[in-house]
A and B are shown apart, each in its own frame.
Chain A
Amino acid sequence: MSIFTKTTEGIGIVLLWIALVLAPVRAVAKDTITIGFTAALSGDSAAFGLNIRKGLELAVEDLNRRGDHTYRLVSMDDRGEAREGALIAQRFCSDPTVDVVMGYSSASIALAAAPILDGCKLPVIASAATSPALSNISPYFHRNVLTDTVQGGMMGQYAARTLGLSRIYVLNQQDDYGIGVARAFSDGAQKAGAQVLGTESYLVGTRDFRTMLTRVRMARPDAIFIGGYYTEAAGIARQARALGIQARFLSTDGALNTELMKLGHGAVEGMVLYGMFDPSAAAPETAQFVRAYRAAHGEDPGAWSALGYDAGKTLEAAVRLAAQNGQVTRESLNAAFAQVKAVPGATGPTTFQPSGDRDGVLHFFAVDHGRFVSLAGGVAPLAQPQGAYPAKQGAGPVGDTIAYFGQLLANAVVLGAIYALTAVAFTLVYGVVRLVNFAFGELFMLGAFVTVSLMLSRIQLVGFTLPMPALPFLLAALLAVPVTAALGVAVERIAYRPLRRAPRLAPLITSIAVSILLQSLAQTVWGAEELRFPDFALSSLPPLVLFGTIYFSVMDLVVIGAAVAAMLMLALFISRSRLGRAMRATAEDQTAAQLVGIPVDRVIAAAFAIGSGFAALSGLLYAQTYGFAHFSMGFAPGLKALIAAVLGGIGSLPGAALGGLVLAVAETIAGGVLPDGAAWKDAVGFVLLVLLLLFRPQGLLGRREMNTAGRGSLLDGTGVAFGPVARRIFARVDAGMARIGHNPRGLALGALAVAVLLGLGLSSDYWLTCLTMIVLYGTLASGLNLIVGFAGLLDLGFVAFWAVGSYFTAILFVSVLEHAMGAAPRQIWWLFYLDLPLGGLLAAGLAVLLGTPTLRLRGDYLAIMTLGFGELVRIVATNWIGLTNGPMGIRGIPAPALFGMPLASARAQFLAALVLAIMVVFVLTRLVRSYIGRAWVAIREDEDAAAGMGIPVARYKLYAYATSGFIGGITGVFYAHTQHYISPLNFDLFENILLLMLIVLGGIGTFAGPFVGSVIWFLFLQFSLGIPFVQNHPETRFALLGVVLILLVLFRPQGLAAGLRVALILPGLGRERPASAAPLATPATAASTETGA
């Protein structure tokens, strides 16, 4: 009892301290207007939010100089995630100093946040959320940007009427924005008499459009509308021209950014776009803004900066109006927004309609000599693209088909060369060290960045302009390879080598941590936007044309040549050189190699050097092919390399090369043949992977032995020895844990008491929502921990179960009951309670379905296959729009209710989440502390010995999958009803990795670990949002996370709560003494009764 009270007391003090430190109330002068700014400021689509903020900052500086009120900007990064956006909205709500919210670079986040902000009557001006679903969403929601429907429709009419285009092919990125504008455009264009030849969609972040464009070329359009952002628009334009497509390009306000010209390399000349901001407009506000922006940033402003600036100007007008009538409050400010009329700004006057939308003018632009030129004066300055389509005469349908597949094959070979090179590098390292190096994609990315940096004459690094040597391509590439190789060796030395004797997940986790660290650092150093790959003599040559129809570039040949040469050299090196032989010996058996005098450490370092050098080479070739370098560019190719390496048989160099080629051909052909192939082509690799692992787990050319059990224990093992100080600290932690561990019931009750007290006592909705997230992520991580921590199966596809639960209930409640049958959620409140077990069972069923083919796989193969499954589920959720509403997600999922009384408040939801978590943890502890849990742990520690004890290993693995899936499913159902909005973004690979990290952070294979990890992670995220430096560089949070994870795994591989060893016997039962004397005569059992003749 005393331990119980002591624990509670201790936890209470800590929480009290946290509450005091965190109390969001700060002393702020009364006439200060605080702007809560939120947008995606890190990650792939960070450019929009960062640009809006640049404009808003200019406006704030300007307003503060004039000075009746002081304006203060608090900036929060939502990372493009709805969950994070909802939390930030809660945070602004709970912070009484915040008067108005601005930003919102994506509609899905605005959709999640708007109801929350409505609840606390906090007015909003959004600047880049263009979805028509946001019209009339709340009386407090305004935006100064036109909706997709309006903009796309006007563009469609403009294209058909003014530009006189009649045969248009429509492309769109697969999200609410792309689909919205493309539909509106098609409608507008068709109404005005143009013909839409076809539509294709692609996923945001796609780099290779050649397959899709080969299909477009067949239709011979005279214009192509690209409904998407500038990165993809530039890529499409470049690749289309390289394929000989001569159509005019049309695109959107999402592409209206000077980056378009940088990345488009001249191919975007003549592209027509629309937008709300015309820098050449005559209005004095526009000129003033352009001047101020140039002075501050040394470049021309884009539309998003202008809208951010105008949001600031509109705010000022509203503040003045509100101040005339008395105190400036959220309420009076909102009233003022409705009253302000024609506030002058850089994008013209701003007036809000009652729907919250803005009245505004759309401008049309054309790219002319690398600049956006307004088409206000007419279309005259447009230079018609020259040339014509490949000769059609006499080709006929057969000729067309041959030309089509010929081009596809040519595309596949170029892609295949890069995949093969990357896969070879990957497999070399894997073969020697048996480590799935997740940081591999980042070395790939760094190879590209180093090359590009060396080729420039000056470059902005961390915001400073530095002179660079402007080397020619060849020299830069030759330097980038050894630089990256050295980095790869350093990573091996620091993060992997000390872990040779560590628990078996440790190196995998550090490799993920290194990947996160390098990616975040790259964003800090080179910025969030793509860095253009400079043109050089070879890359500027016109395309080569084979048989008049098959196009490829000189650089494509260089890429293929370089890849083949590099792979041949490696093959020679491995088979002929001394070091190569030593590598093969080390790959066979490290201990034996060491015994015969091979310096294993040095050989492994050499393998890392060569692997990293190859990664750099493929990275720079990739960047050259697609025209840019970007901090996240390594992720997708890294995954592809992994798939290709496994396809070929991991560890086999020729296999990897073959795997790369096979993957590229399969992707390209499937993308070219399947309906909507461009959006589905990423799924092809995963399907191929699953099929191959089912029928030939060793891969095409691999050896069966590579599919061996995970080496060593999941928990036992050593990392790096502590220094004296750390040793003392951790000794204390462990002693405390051990003391608590003696009384698990006390610990559980103590934690519960604290949670309930917090749930009843906290007044801030924001902190209650945070706690709900902590509890839900802890519960999800517990489900993952069951399969990873207890059964020892590294599952990287766990999010799929979560997704299934969430989608099941969302589709049932929203799509079926509400939309199709017209039922009111209030009347069917009880269905939620039925959905919990049903969603759980559905996910458990899927888990068994997915688990069955993996039963033959062990160790790393299992991880790769489950990763494939997880990604497949996400791709299906993104592309199967009819079922899941695709990237638009499902909105309006009702809050859980009890007898018609909604549990919508943050407090009720937290307490409900707590009940769910308690039930899950209770069931988990009971299962683990029984023969079932002991069987899981036995399988985790030694599969063969477990089978020798009579444990049907396969069946128990499936039990583990099913239980883990069930937990994922019910938590998913609950999650959907608390978030009210889900989209495929909630369920990406990073979420799975995050859950895994929570477990590792807290303590793998313990009950408390997932929750400890969850508490630390969420508090860290929310605390760090308050630090000004982090507000400016949000990605540094992830860099820090990477560092902390690496250190933790190095020094304490079992996690913080590792002292809490889990007993596998129910407490109170362990002290039983024998009753009878005869030791071997036991009660008859099923096994022993079967006595033979």
Chain B
Amino acid sequence: MSAILHACGLKVRFGGLEAIGGVDLCVRAGAIHGLIGPNGAGKTTLLNALSGFVRLAAGQLRFNGHEIAGRRPDAIAALGLSRTFQNIRLFGAMTVLESLLVGAHRQFDMGAGAIVLGSARSKVAERAMIGRAHMLLDFVGLGADTAARVATTLSYGQQRRVEIARALMSSPQLVLLDEPLAGMNALEKQEIATLVRSVRAQGTTLLLIEHDMQIVRDLCDHLTVLDHGKRLADGPPRDVLADPAVQAAYLGRGR
């Protein structure tokens, strides 16, 4: 399998602090790639750097054959990299269906004139995307009745699913999930894990941050461990989790 995302020597600085200090990362196409590490290790920062939300101080970053270091988040998203956020960020005052359509923003390409005149083509495009949104709602396990509800009034678990569905609307090649299982009970975690697997089954690569080692071990094909902004280990879950350095980092014995 070829690498869909290849990062080399990534560095991120906040003022004098080096949050990410030269991390290499290689995500293979079709993988479920886990990103783990203790609190403050720089996992979310790395995700933000990959998706263009944080400026890189140094390093190369190739996604799907494009050099994307220094590009804006929207340009990176347009290339097929989609993401969710650690603290759910749904659009207030929008219904679930509308939120999902925002996720499909790049799929629309008709001009303002066509929209104002209500051209057949623009209606076809809207219909297609609305159809897709309903499909995805079904796919992430939300009932048809949720489509018309204001997204921020849903339960926490439902909001997570809406966010995942929104990220999938653009038919991305790589989805970054920032702690998709946070705050869920065991049953919900299993449901989301199943969802992640079926996303992968459709041919989409996933990179996710997670703390639950049991889930990570079962779900991921490959793990990268971060600690203090450095890559501590990288490899198949079984090897990585057996690594004494990783265990030390998690148990807080220092290095």
Contacts and interface: CB of A to CB of B under 8 A. Distances in A.
Interface residues of A, number: 55
Contact of B202 (A950, A952, A1075, A1079): A1079
9 contacts: A931-B101, A935-B102, A947-B74, A948-B83, A950-B78, A1065-B130, A1069-B126, A1090-B80, A1092-B63
Among B91, B101, B171, which residue has the most Cβ atoms of chain A within 10 A? B91
A949 B102 contact: yes
Nearest to B116: A926
Interface string A1082-1093: 110111101111
A1090 B92 CA distance: 32
Shortest 9 CB-CB contacts between residues of A and residues of B: A1092-B65, A713-B92, A950-B77, A1080-B202, A931-B108, A1092-B64, A1074-B135, A941-B91, A947-B73
A1061 B105 contact: no
B105 A1064 contact: no
A716 B91 CA distance: 10
A715 interface: yes
Given A930-B126, A938-B91, A1063-B95, 6 more contacts: A945-B85, A947-B52, A950-B74, A1074-B138, A1092-B64, A1093-B2
Contacts of B107: 1082, 1085, 1087
Contacts of B65: 1091-1093
A1091 B53 contact: no
Given A1070-B148, A1072-B127, A1080-B204, A951 B105 contact: yes
Interface string B51-66: 1110000000001111
A241 interface: no
Among B4, B85, B98, B108, which residue has the most Cβ atoms of chain A within 10 A? B98
Interface in B64-96: 64-66, 72-75, 77-80, 82-83, 85, 89-95
Interface of B: 2, 4, 51-53, 63-66, 72-75, 77-80, 82-83, 85, 89-95, 97-98, 101-109, 112, 115-116, 118, 122-123, 126-128, 130-132, 134-136, 138-139, 147-148, 152, 166, 168, 170-171, 173, 199, 202-204
A1066 B126 contact: yes
B98 A1065 contact: yes
A953 interface: yes
Contacts of B116: 922-923, 926-927
Given A713-B92, A937-B93, A1080-B199, A1088 B127 contact: no
Contacts of B74: 947-953
B205 to A, nearest CB: 12
A282 to B, nearest CB: 75
Nearest to B88: A945
Nearest to B134: A1074
A28 interface: no
B168 A948 contact: no
Given A949-B166, A952-B74, A1088-B173, A1079 B135 contact: yes
A1081 interface: yes
A205 B79 CA distance: 57
A1090 B132 contact: no
B107 to A, nearest CB: 5
B248 to A, nearest CB: 32
B131 A948 contact: no
B98 A1086 contact: no
Instruction: Name the prevailing secondary structure of the A interface residues.
Output: loop
Nearest to B106: A950
B166 A930 contact: no
A297 to B, nearest CB: 57
Given A1080-B202, A1080-B203, A944 B131 contact: no
A72 interface: no
Given A926-B115, A951-B74, A1065-B130, A935 B80 contact: no
A950 B80 CA distance: 9
A942 interface: yes
A932 interface: yes
A948 B53 contact: yes
Given A937-B93, A1064-B94, A1075 B131 contact: yes
A1073 interface: yes
Given A926-B116, A948-B83, A1087-B79, A1072 B91 contact: no
A47 B89 CA distance: 55
Given A935-B102, A947-B77, A716 B93 contact: yes
Interface string A1050-1084: 00000000000101111001101111101111110
Given A931-B105, A1081-B202, A1061 B93 contact: yes
Contact of A1064 (B63, B78, B101): B101
Nearest to B91: A941
Contacts of A934: 94, 98, 101-102, 105
Interface string A681-720: 0000000000000000000000000000000111110000
Nearest to B163: A945
Among A1066, A1080, A1090, A1091, which residue has the most Cβ atoms of chain B within 10 A? A1080
Contact of A1087 (B80, B89, B199): B80
B66 A1092 contact: yes
A1082 B132 contact: yes
A946 interface: yes
A945 B89 contact: yes
Nearest to B51: A948
Nearest to B140: A1079
